[in-house]
Structure 1
Amino acid sequence: METTGDDEGNELKVKQGEPILVPPAEETPRVPYFLSNLDQNVAVIIKTIFCFKSKDEGNERAAKVIKDALAKVLVHYYPLAGRLTISAEGKLMVDCTGEGVLFVEAEADCNMADVGDIDKPESATLDKLIYNVRGAKNIMEMPLLVVQVTNFRCGGFVLGRAMNHCMFDGIAAVEFVKSWSEIAQNLPLSVTPFLDRTILRSRTPPLVEFPHREFLDITDISDTATIYKHHPMLYRSFCFDLERLDRLKRLAIEESFVSKCTSFEALSGFVWQARTRALGLRPKQQTKLLFAIDGRARFNPPLPRSYFGNGMVLANSLATAEELTKNSVGFAVKKVQEANRMVTDSYMRSAIDYFEMTRSRPSLTGTLLLSTWSRLPFHTINFGWEEPVHHGPVTMPEKDVVLFTSHGKERNGIMVMMGLPDSAMAIFEQLVEEI
């Protein structure tokens, strides 16, 4: 058993059992599994937690129920039991070896309420609720899914997951966990996953019809690299309730850049503008906004609702720091709306073909990448211990990424999770207070 303490002085200690591999409960195909070009650029580990209160019988059975259900759900999602490899084309693919998912049971020495601020990402405390694979030199040597169930003295437990994003986007991840939880309750699967990702193969020959500025390399004339190097990173969560979101939307339409906007558009424009101000970018510094759009319904024909993979495409917009900071927030909101409208079937097919021809990766220099989790119904997941009292990310994928998650009992508020150098964070916090 390994004991992990907290360098920040928190009393939380977690004893992790020996990790085991959980293979599919039945024999599954041992075949190469194709990953589309939309999967290729997102091979990063996403860490999340679900916190469950105890029922009358406590959490004694939680780990076994979740582990047994995992083995059964892997029969339907068998590529997750394989390992990443490189295809003859030099791209990522999955070798369906059936090895299994890494599973760890752990014990915490306190009540779940003692964990502290679970809305703060990049916490050394929260990281103890996710098993970190030892000995893996790179992402190719890591299992595609790692699961840790941590039992607390109060009878509650936390389900921690580390998933490779190349296997699914948020929508597919919800479907997977929902299927997993249904099996845990001895229910039939409400959705059967559609596993064939070859429907998103590039065209022959590839046809690039649009400028794909999501891959544009921006010159850092503001030398933000030095700011990040010499100032410690701070991670904060900001709550935007309905009242504050309504004020933002009113601000966005005041100077007639837009006549109406959604909460997402208003908040995206504000965060882009405020972050630019906080970092003190030079007026002529070009900045790029990227945000993921679900392409499932925008493809022609649409992707199956149960598509298992990444159906997200990056919308993009460019503006100079001067344009963003001299204009009202409505200017940035208009740019967000224009980027959203740009994503059509033709655009998405062009993006797939662009990667096929260039093997480019989106550059994050001078970039803000928004990832929206606020519409994902993770809060409805029920393994038999009722819905989670909390769920959310443990780490930020990159320093340039900002996460939107749902907030409040009615889930109509939005929590903004982000990191900035301490000097910039103080300014950003002030700009939020002024709304």
Structure 2
Amino acid sequence: MLKPAYAAPHPLAGGKVQLTVFDRAAIDTYVPIVLAYPAPAPSNEALKEGLLRAIAPYPHLLGRFALDGHGRRVLNLNNEGVLVIETDVPADLADVLAAGGMATDVAGFYPTVPEESVGPALLQVKLGRYRCGGLLLGVICHHHISDGHAASTFYGAWATAVREGKGFSVPSPFIDRAATAVPRSTPKPVFDHRSIEFKGGEGSGSSQPHAVLPMDKIRNITVHFPAEFIAELRSRVGARCSTFQCLLAHVWKKATAARGLDLEEFTQVRVAVNCRGRANPPVPMDFFGNMVLWAFPRLQVRDVLGLSYGGVVGAIRDAAARIDEEYIQSYVDFGGVADANGEELAATSTFGTMLCPDIEVDSWLGFRFHQLDFGTGPPSAFLPPGLPVEGLMVFVPSRTVEGSVDLFMALAEDHVAAFKRICYSLDILPSRM
């Protein structure tokens, strides 16, 4: 177990921190990433030394979950450390990647996800050293500690600490979690957050109650969208739009068509929205924690399939715009009321959920792999973990081609062949699909 030796106790050391309402909306699990570094990869000692320097300003990652007197989960900032596992693998990294690469089961490449959250390390690292000198770096971090934006910032700080050496001082992030979720003196939630962000009621959290699909019926697929294809998508939109928006519109169309949904049915997308800059007052972008809510663009199937790309992008953009300072404050007020009442809140996403006719999307498009250069070059491959929710997808910038994007998506096995057949088609009308 690695623990930084502080010259003086961290100001938060020994304290217990309540999870915010943003933390509790995140899925209750560890989020894994696996990165491949060919020889000459950084040494294990350099990685561990850099990790100790990088993590010192992040006391939440060094703590453990505990339970308060009401049985609710809290963060115990006890500096128990980070679990680091080192293994030697009698194989060449290139052969392992060639044998399966992004299609292989990568669960053995990162630490085993603990069955219980209270007690185990919240950040765990596995350094798989291959006989060629290559490295598979597998990391798991609990989602109640950080969202994707915060986690990627920390991983980038770790890489910089290794690359720059002992003279590098890791910048301290903003870590005042309580400041991100301050209810009004008289809380006034005006939206149905119990149904939208959490389980319960018949609100906008889904188009219909979600079924449970056996995990062995969920297939994870990878689709590479070249930069030229994305440029053509943008031109079809006919207005200024982001790569994320045009790709989401496209995949929503194709997933809807592949599922063979009834034209009168409604389908929606759960879109992660970073609330740091949308809150009033804004929260610093270097805040380490969770501060994500979701927008829910919703259309009838006939409109998803029949509208122009510009029309679908417009629906996505309008839904995201509704996550404004008023909505965020309403959500924070809702959390304050729930805390005052001692109410448990359960996030909507669970393993084996079948989102069909809906989908859920996360984006890592703001992340750049060069930020994960530990001193011997950026990773040669990103190996996605299995996505446990049917209809869940993630956009990741291509590791190999600038401007291209890789889509990782979980679909019911009955819909995979149809999706792969049409995923590069730019036709719009259902009759052309």
- Which segment drifts farther, 78-87 or 145-154? 78-87
**Alignment partner of 1:261 out of 241, 249, 258:** 241
Deviations 1:52-101 (A, max 9, x none): 2223xx66xx2122223323333221221211123456653211122211
User: Which residue number corresponds to residue 256 of structure 2?
Assistant: 276
Matched, 1:155 2:152: no
The CA distance in 2 between the partners of 1:210 and 1:153, in whole Å, is: 56
* SS of equivalent to 2:250: helix
Question: Per-residue deviation at 1:369?
Answer: 1.1
Distance 1:71 1:155, change over 3 A: same
- The answer on whether the counterparts of 1:47 and 1:395 sit within 8 Å (CA) in structure 2 is no
The CA distance in 1 between the partners of 2:125 and 2:175, in whole Å, is: 22
Deviations 1:396-430 (A, max 9, x none): 25223100000154531111111212221111112
Question: Per-residue deviation at 1:392?
Answer: 4.8
Q: TM-score, normalised by structure 1?
A: 0.83
* SS of equivalent to 1:304: coil
User: Which residue number corresponds to residue 142 of structure 1?
Assistant: 120
Distance 1:189 1:417, change over 3 A: same
The CA distance in 1 between the partners of 2:119 and 2:303, in whole Å, is: 44
Identity in percent: 22
What amino acid sits opposite 1:376 in the alignment?
F
User: Which residue number corresponds to residue 40 of structure 1?
Assistant: 24
What CA RMSD, in Å, does the superposition of the two structures yield over aligned residues? 2.7
- The answer on whether the counterparts of 1:46 and 1:397 sit within 8 Å (CA) in structure 2 is no
**Alignment partner of 2:285 out of 294, 305, 322:** 305
* SS of equivalent to 1:419: strand
- The answer on whether the counterparts of 2:24 and 2:346 sit within 8 Å (CA) in structure 1 is no
User: Which residue number corresponds to residue 207 of structure 1?
Assistant: 188
**Alignment partner of 2:61 out of 60, 80, 86:** 80
Structure 1: gaps (5+ residues): 1-20, 254-258
**Alignment partner of 1:70 out of 34, 51, 57:** 51
Structure 2: gaps (5+ residues): 198-202, 339-344, 427-433
The CA distance in 2 between the partners of 1:86 and 1:354, in whole Å, is: 22
Distance 1:263 1:384, change over 3 A: closer
Deviations 1:348-384 (A, max 9, x none): 2222333444635346744311110121134322323
User: Which residue number corresponds to residue 96 of structure 1?
Assistant: 77
**Alignment partner of 1:412 out of 403, 410, 415:** 403
Following superposition of structure 1 onto structure 2, how do residues 286-365 of structure 1 map, counting pairs within 5 Å? 286-357=266-337, 359=345, 361-362=347-348, 365=355
The CA distance in 2 between the partners of 1:86 and 1:322, in whole Å, is: 48
Deviations 1:103-158 (A, max 9, x none): 1001122111112367636x32x22211215xx44233432111000111221112
The CA distance in 2 between the partners of 1:316 and 1:39, in whole Å, is: 19
**Alignment partner of 2:368 out of 377, 383, 387:** 377
- The answer on whether the counterparts of 1:242 and 1:413 sit within 8 Å (CA) in structure 2 is yes
User: Which residue number corresponds to residue 13 of structure 1?
Assistant: none
**Alignment partner of 2:92 out of 61, 86, 111:** 111
What amino acid sits opposite 1:379 in the alignment?
H
The CA distance in 2 between the partners of 1:426 and 1:307, in whole Å, is: 41
The CA distance in 2 between the partners of 1:54 and 1:426, in whole Å, is: 37
User: Which residue number corresponds to residue 174 of structure 1?
Assistant: 152
Matched, 1:238 2:229: no
Following superposition of structure 1 onto structure 2, how do residues 25-36 of structure 1 map, counting pairs within 5 Å? 25-26=5-6, 27-28=9-10, 29-36=13-20
- Which segment drifts farther, 424-433 or 353-362? 353-362
* SS of equivalent to 2:47: helix
